[in-house]
Structure 1
Amino acid sequence: MDDFERLRGRLFGIAYRMTGTATDAEEVLQDAWLRWQDVDRTTVRDPDAYLAKVVTNLAIKQLTSARARRETYVGEWLPEPVLTGRAEFDALGPLEVVAERESVSFALLLLLERLTPAERAAYVLHEAFAYGYREVAELIGTSEANARQLGSRASKKLAAEAPHEQPVDRAGWRKLVERFIAAARLGEIEQLEKLLAEDVVSRADSGGKVTAARNVLIGRNRVARYLAGAIQRFGGGIEAYLAEANGGPALVAAGPDGVVAICFIGIGPDGVTDVQFVMNPEKLTFATAQVSRIGGPSDLSW
């Protein structure tokens, strides 16, 4: 097997954690593959390190460019979700332990946006892929001392936002979310409010391409009314399925033509704490392709 194909899963994992979108990660891998075709393989002593370096630096370049584009993005920007938890959804590889799931969690990907591209690279390579700082330095083209400093700064920024997530009680999550969906579909605002934390936050990423709130909504009453209206609009053959995305439970809305929304619902002691809707069609093409590999959305449920 060609070294690139052997390493494809790992390389995609680096690019995805670096850019926050599967679309950008695929573009990075395509560019890396083209470079791999042109290189004299006899001069490459360590294909694993060589390809990791190429992908990392292409991802840094892609992220820098993407952030410039996001300045004109319509509404809230959220990462692009990837379905996980099944052999058919192999883009990120098996997420068998808590640390592996955390490294691709939606919450962490959001927090990684607060880092500089160099800090993000150092953090991802060291924490998610266990590269030593000497190796990190070689991969991103800096000194070991600077790589260590970048990683330290990144860890401190993330720690300040308490990114460590507790394991999700999936049975409890499912029960609460099913009640949440039922109340929203029936427009029972009071019942829905009882399921929400007082300071619940809702974000929706539509890219201006579909109808959705363009600003962050905060507070039980505002969020309840918005969610009731949003979920009731999913009609005409659109069904909701409980599935796994980015290593955690998610709500996937899909119809005959594919996925139309993926929703991450955070739960705390007082109920639902945050609701993150990804609705931009361009950010759902990867998930739709994943669903097509298992025969259709009706096979999503876990």
Structure 2
Amino acid sequence: MTKTDDTQTFEQFRPDLLRLAYRMTGGQADAEDIVQDAWLRWHRTRTDDVRNARAWLSRTVARLAIDHLRKVKTRRETYVGPWLPEPVVTDVPVAHPPLPGDALEIAQDVSMALMMILETLKPEERAAFLLRAAFELPYAELATELGKSEDACRQMVSRARTRLRQNRPRFEATDQQHEDLLLAFAGAAQAGDTAALTNLMTPHAKLTSDGGGKVSAALRVIEGAANVASLVAHIAGTASALPGDIMPMRINGRPGFIVASKNAIDASYSIDVENGRIAAIYVMRNPDKLAHLLARSKPAE
């Protein structure tokens, strides 16, 4: 290939590589750095000897992501309060709910539900699952890349698929259902209406709030509709539960919203839905993880 061809080939696969790196690390900036590093390695490689560019690039990104996660392990272990992935803005609606086992859908899925499940896996397990499920990498190549036996790779992928089936929302909602529930939640939260908040959620709903130790946020996951409603209503009684302007935005492939003031974003909100009710609420308050959303929240000049 010529260098022009190399560049065109890389750019063709860049979106998938960014999604892979993001799902491995949970950070947009980290994903961009990893993909840039992969590009530099691709640029220095004799690409005429590469039979499958997509496979080569995905394996490279996965290896770099595993190295990154090993380096930040201590930082993750000492993180203050619950950890959530950086919210990412996704402008293109999902055509239909993600289907476990469907390589195309898994390759495009960056939903909070999937991200939270991936976070429970070890880096090698995460890489094995994504490379197999999304990039359809043969087990023999997985074994070589991860330094494991083929049987071990099959077991890792199987365990990840089982966890995915067990923990993903059982009944996906349409975009309209998401939007309706979000608007109802915002209204009830601002009013401090405990009964309305409770009715919007499944009995075992969870609220996860990530402040990173830099702003106020719950230091543990709040479980149970009544407990979540009480917390949100309490916040509304002491200050505005949703200060600033509420701006709808597609977050991680689903309708969500941010709460923005003139020069900052206070929080982003997204949800999982089961049986027409809110099953999980994800509140990002860590300013470091919200900074990249600020430009998206400003009108074009």
Q: Same fold (TM over 0.5)?
A: yes
Q: Deviations over 1:227-280 (max 9, x none)?
A: 232682443xx2112332222222222233354322122333473332111111
Q: Give % identity.
A: 36
Q: Given that residues 253 and 259 in structure 1 are in contact (C-alpha distance below 8 angstroms), is that contact kept between their aligned partners in structure 2?
A: yes
Query: Contact conserved, 1:56 with 1:139, CA < 8 A, in 2?
Result: no
Q: In the alignment, what sits opposite 2:101?
A: none
**Equivalences, count:** 285
- Find the counterpart in structure 1 of residue 71 from structure 2: 65
Contact 1:207 1:280 in 2 (8 A): yes
Q: Does the 8 A contact of 1:263 with 1:275 survive in 2? A: yes
8 Å CA contact retained: 1:251, 1:263: yes
Q: Residues 153 and 194 of structure 1: is their aligned pair in 2 closer, same or farther, counting only changes over 3 Å?
A: closer
Greater mean deviation of Cα atoms: 138-147 or 2-11: 138-147
What is the Cα deviation at residue 95 of structure 1?
Answer: 4.4
Read off the aligned partner of 1:287 and give its amino acid letter. Answer: L
Distance in 2 of aligned mates of 1:213 and 1:20: 20
The residue identity in structure 1 corresponding to 2:179 is: R
Query: CA separation in 1, counterparts of 2:176 and 2:49?
Result: 53
Cα distance in 2 for partners of 1:164, 1:178 equals: 20
Name the counterpart of 1:114: 120
Q: Does 2:4 align with 1:8?
A: no
Indicate whether 1:167 and 2:172 are aligned: yes
Structure-2 separation of matches of 1:40 and 1:132: 23
The equivalent of 2:185 in structure 1 is 180
Corresponding residue for residue 270 of structure 2: 264
Kindly indicate whether the alpha-carbon contact (under 8 Å) linking 1:52 and 1:139 is maintained by their aligned counterparts in 2: no
CA contact (8 A) 1:103 1:128 kept: no
Q: CA deviation at 1:125?
A: 1.2
Decide whether aligned partners of structure 1 residues 135 and 79 sit closer, same or farther in structure 2, where only a CA change above 3 A counts. same
- The 3 A distance-change label for structure 1 pair 233 and 117 is same
Q: Give distance in 1, aligned partners of 2:269 and 2:277.
A: 16
Instruction: Look up the SS of the partner of 1:283 in the other structure.
Output: helix
Q: Does 1:134 align with 2:140?
A: yes
Q: Which runs of 5+ in 2 are unaligned?
A: 99-104
TM normalised by structure 1 equals 0.81
Deviation at 1:97, TM superposition (A): 4.4
Structure 1: 5+ residue stretches without partners? 87-93, 297-302
RMSD over aligned Cα atoms:
2.8
> Does the aligned pair in 1 maintain the 2:210–2:283 contact within 8 Å?
yes
Structure 1 residue runs of 4+, over 6 Å off? none
Which secondary structure state, in structure 1, belongs to the residue aligned with residue 266 of structure 2? strand
Q: 5 Å matches for 1:203-282?
A: 203-228=208-233, 229=235, 232-235=240-243, 238-269=244-275, 271-282=277-288
User: How far does residue 46 in structure 1 lie from its aligned partner after superposition?
Assistant: 4.3
